[in-house]
Structures are given as structure tokens and as C-alpha cells.
Amino acid sequence: MQQNHLCSVIIPAYNCENLIAEAIQSALDQTYQNIEVLVIDDCSTDSTYEQICAIAKADSRIIPLQNPHNMGVALTRNYGFQKASGPYIALLDGDDFWLPDKLQQQIIQLEATGADICCTAYALIDEKSQPTGKCFVPPKKTSFDRLRKQNFIGCSTALFHRQVIEQIQMRPEFSHEDYAFWLEAAQAGFQITALHQPLVQYRILQSSRSANKLRSAYNCWLIYRKFMKYNLFRAFYYFIWYAIYGTLRRL
């Protein structure tokens, strides 16, 4: 594997002053070193942006950015897409962190398979960075149809070719903007591959959107009805699959 292809790491950050340093450091500690780290503060009300700027002084690969006003995670990622320079794009949320060989393994996987998007398994941790004992492993079959039944791509696990964002952007009108993004990419013909090693530590916060199961289910229903524009019968078919896989994940 060649190290001469720049990977742009995009980290949206909002009020995560106690966690942002760990996320950034996990990007800097990657065995794949040819990276730029775009850390975008969404007008935090705590010291998140000040911490980002302080960390950036020690490593020129860090590019601190700040939105002119609070824009939400979808538009913040889109802003990162505009500023990114690399042929590879990786997403990392400000409260998650990576294992050191995450990027290297994914780039090897993309080169070996010819796929456009690579996701990985991820382990769940709590607010104090303690493991919960749960791990989500993406399915072996990563087709568009399989993706419609379950969003198996965790944002902080995703690495993809630049061509994806040249065609597709995050949709801020949907709370599950990441799910809409992956569905649109798969529908456009971009191929997805998955690694089953848990290369990401995904933090479950009580304030996070994913912690509210009923709201998450409703937002998924909106994806089927408003984004995919499925009729009631077809939307219900995929929503049942979403419920089944969601239940299996919690067992």
C-alpha cells in the first residue's frame, strides 16, 4: 500500500471540550500518516474551539475551522467536504475515537476490492470511555437492498473516495442525514465494503440522538417516506426490517 494519497479526516465538533482532544489524537496516531485533520467547531458554547486551536499549534496536519453560526452536523460535514484536499475522505465525530490501524486497514480494503466506501465494526463505550461489552459488526452482504433494511455504516467508521462527495452531500433536512447520505450513494452505484474488526470506539451519550430509540425510529420512517419517497406499504416493509435488526442489536 502506498502512503502518498492524502486522507482528509473531517471532525465536526460541538460542545465536546472533554472529548475532542482524544478524538483528534486518535486521528494523529494512525499508522497511515499522510493525513490532514479538519476539525470544524459548530459554534460551541464551551471551550471546544479554543482546545482545537491549542492542539493545532503542535501539529501542522490539524486545520481548525469554525462555522459562522450554528449549522448542525450535516452542513458542518458538507463544509468539511468543501475544504478537504485528499482523494480519500474519512469521518470522525468529536466524541468518538479510532484504533491506530483503522485508516490503513480501510485503504488496503478499498484498493483490494475496488469499492468506493468502506465501513468497519465498532465497539460501544459509555460517557467515561468504559466499554459496554457491546459491538456492532456490519453484515457481510453490503448491497443497496441490505442497506435499506438497516443503516450498518457508523459515521465514524466511514472512509470513501472523493468521487462520492463530488456527487452527494449530506441532507440537513433529515435528522438521519448520514443514513440518507449512504442510501443515496448506494443508489447511485457506489460500492460498499466492510471490515469486521472493531476499529472504532463509538461513544453512547445520554444526550445523543441515537440514545432516543423512539425518536430514532421516527426519523428512520421519515427517511423511507420523505427521502426515498416510498408508499406506505413499501415504507412499512423496510421499517419492519429496521425494527427487527434494531431489536437484534440490543440483545
Q: What is the pLDDT of residue 226?
A: 97
The pLDDT-based confidence of 127 (bands split at 50, 70, 90) is confident
Tell me which residue range forms the domain holding 199.
Answer: 7-207
Q: Give percent of the chain with pLDDT exceeding 70.
A: 96
Going 248 to 124 to 18 to 157, the CA torsion angle's sign is negative
Q: Average pLDDT, whole number, for the chain?
A: 94
| Nearest one of 159, 250, 169, 160 to 210, comparing CA atoms | 250
Does residue 200 lie within any of the structural domains? yes
- Rounded to whole angstroms, how far apart are CA atoms 202 and 218? 22
Does residue 230 lie within any of the structural domains? no
Number of domains in the chain: 1
CATH assignment at residue 126: 3.90.550.10
Q: What is the pLDDT of residue 207?
A: 59
Does residue 222 lie within any of the structural domains? no
Of 120-129, 165-174, 198-207, where does the model show the most confidence? 165-174
Does residue 229 lie within any of the structural domains? no
Does residue 108 lie within any of the structural domains? yes
Q: What is the pLDDT of residue 137?
A: 95
Q: Which three cell numbers stand for residue 139?
A: 453484515
2-54: pLDDT as tens digits: 567 999 999 999 999 999 999 999 999 999 999 999 999 999 999 999 999 99
DSSP state of 119: E
| Nearest one of 6, 14, 90 to 52, comparing CA atoms | 14
Q: Which three cell numbers stand for residue 138?
A: 456490519
Does residue 1 lie within any of the structural domains? no
- All residues at 6 or more sequence positions from 214 whose CB lies less than 8 Å from its CB, including other chains: none
- The answer, yes or no, to whether residue 133 has pLDDT greater than 70, is yes
153-171: pLDDT as tens digits: 999 999 999 999 999 999 9
Does residue 220 lie within any of the structural domains? no
Q: What is the pLDDT of residue 212?
A: 77
Does residue 214 lie within any of the structural domains? no
- All residues at 6 or more sequence positions from 196 whose CB lies less than 8 Å from its CB, including other chains: 120, 121, 137, 138, 140
Q: Return the bridge partners of 123, or none.
A: 135, 201
- The answer, yes or no, to whether residue 210 has pLDDT greater than 60, is no
Distances (CA, A) of 52 to 59, 97, 190, 219: 11, 15, 33, 31
Q: What is the pLDDT of residue 175?
A: 94
